[in-house]
A and B are shown apart, each in its own frame.
Chain A
Amino acid sequence: MTAPATVAPVPARRRLVLWVAVGIGSVLAALVTVLALVGSPPDTSQLLGRPAPAVAGSNLGGGRPVSLRSYAGRWVLVDFAASWCVPCQQELPKLQAFARSAARYHAALITVAESPSDGPALARYMSAHGAHWPAVQDPQAVVSYGVTGIPTVFLVDPDGIIVGYYPSGVSPSGLDSFIRAAGASGVP
């Protein structure tokens, strides 16, 4: 018996499969590239260079109501924190160091409680650890500043413009040199 004749469209089929595979691979590679580019949020804020939103509320530590507006003409560090947040607790000594050196250039600090229910506990924690600057609970400020995690710190210049955003901790010496440099370039 004669062997059956073989019709061989295999090369064409293989070419088609190859092109399909190349196409799918290209789409996947493009997707991976795009996701790698947009995957991690940048360490920046939409608010940099824009007027600082209002911060206001009663001083959780007692005393007069606190308002960012009342600090016009001064450098202000606006710190969003919570009593239960370990990174916030670790950052407190750095903020205290800044507060000590900041007295030289008349700067100020305001801590905003990330959650209204945490306000009293945060005030107690700050007082117990010798942090004696104003603390407020202002849920609207948390949203107005676009806070997505704590601790988050913003630096507001004497004109009320946000010039610094520190989503993963501040460096007191860095803040000092930043403010000194700004002062040297004419900013009060």
Chain B
Amino acid sequence: MRGAGSSRPPASRLRRWAVWVVLLVAAAVALAVGAQPGTVRPSLAQRTLALASEVRCPVCVGETVADSSAPAAVTLRDDIHRELAAGEKPAAILAGIESVYGPGILEKPRATGIGLFLWLVPVLVVLAAGGGLAAGFAWWGRQRRSDPASPGDHDLVAEFLRTAGAGTPQAAAEEGG
């Protein structure tokens, strides 16, 4: 017996794929549009806070420089504000802070060395989970399609039909006639 999916006409399968492709394209476009910065340029204070939120407070636990009121965090925030006002690039400011405190000061690990591993692990886990599910479903589908009825199954059905058929009026008439 063949699975229902494989007996679907090619046009139907094409339509199903087309729906998925349209959905994926729509999601990608929505993400791309959503990720675009707004047309209004953020103020210096907003840029300072945004950059400060990428730096861990060096003397506290679980707080960024944007959140903390520790003196060191306040000084770092003032430094960021001053350097942004002077036209320094955000990446250069972060690099300067990292050169003093080390890479652990950054909220987001850099995508190099061990940081790259930390970035890749979630992606690999999602890919492995998706691949595992796909493989599992494929294997399950193959099992269902490739399990023909055994001779034992045939015997079982034949015996059932014999016993079920023996009690019907038609069978009684055939026996009497």
Evaluate contact between B99 and A139: CB separation under 8 angstroms: no
Of residues 54 through 84 on chain A, the ones whose CB sits less than 8 Å from some CB of chain B are none
* Contact call B117/A34, Cβ cutoff below 8 A: yes
A108 at the interface (CB under 8 A from B): no
Across the interface, which residues of A come within 8 angstroms of B121, CB to CB? 27, 31
Nearest CB of chain B from residue A132's CB, rounded to whole Å: 25
**Nearest B residue to A141, CB-CB:** B75
CA–CA, A147 and B143, complex, Å: 63
In whole angstroms, how far apart are the Cα atoms of A20 and B139 in the complex?
Answer: 14
B contacts with A: majority SS: helix
Which of B72, B128, B135 has most chain A Cβ within 10 Å? B72
In the complex, what residues of B have CB within 8 A of residue A34's CB?
A: 114, 117-118
A140 to B83, CA, bound (A): 14
Chain B residues with a Cβ closer than 8 Å to the other chain, count: 32
Contacts of A46 in B (CB 8 A): 99-102
Q: Interface size (A, Cβ < 8 Å)?
A: 32
Complex CA distance for A142 and B57, rounded to whole angstroms: 13
Q: How distant is the Cα of A2 from the Cα of B71 in the complex, in angstroms? A: 83
Known A2-B155, A139-B74, A147-B58; 17 more pairs at CB < 8 Å: A2-B156, A4-B156, A5-B156, A7-B147, A16-B135, A27-B121, A30-B117, A38-B114, A46-B102, A47-B100, A139-B75, A140-B75, A142-B71, A142-B75, A143-B76, A146-B58, A147-B59
Sort A-B residue pairs by CB-CB distance and give the 9 closest, nearest first: A5-B152, A146-B100, A139-B75, A146-B101, A115-B71, A148-B58, A143-B75, A5-B150, A46-B102
18 chain-A/chain-B pairs, Cβ below 8 angstroms:
A2-B155, A2-B159, A5-B152, A27-B124, A27-B125, A114-B71, A115-B71, A116-B71, A142-B75, A143-B72, A143-B76, A143-B79, A143-B100, A146-B100, A146-B102, A147-B59, A148-B59, A149-B59
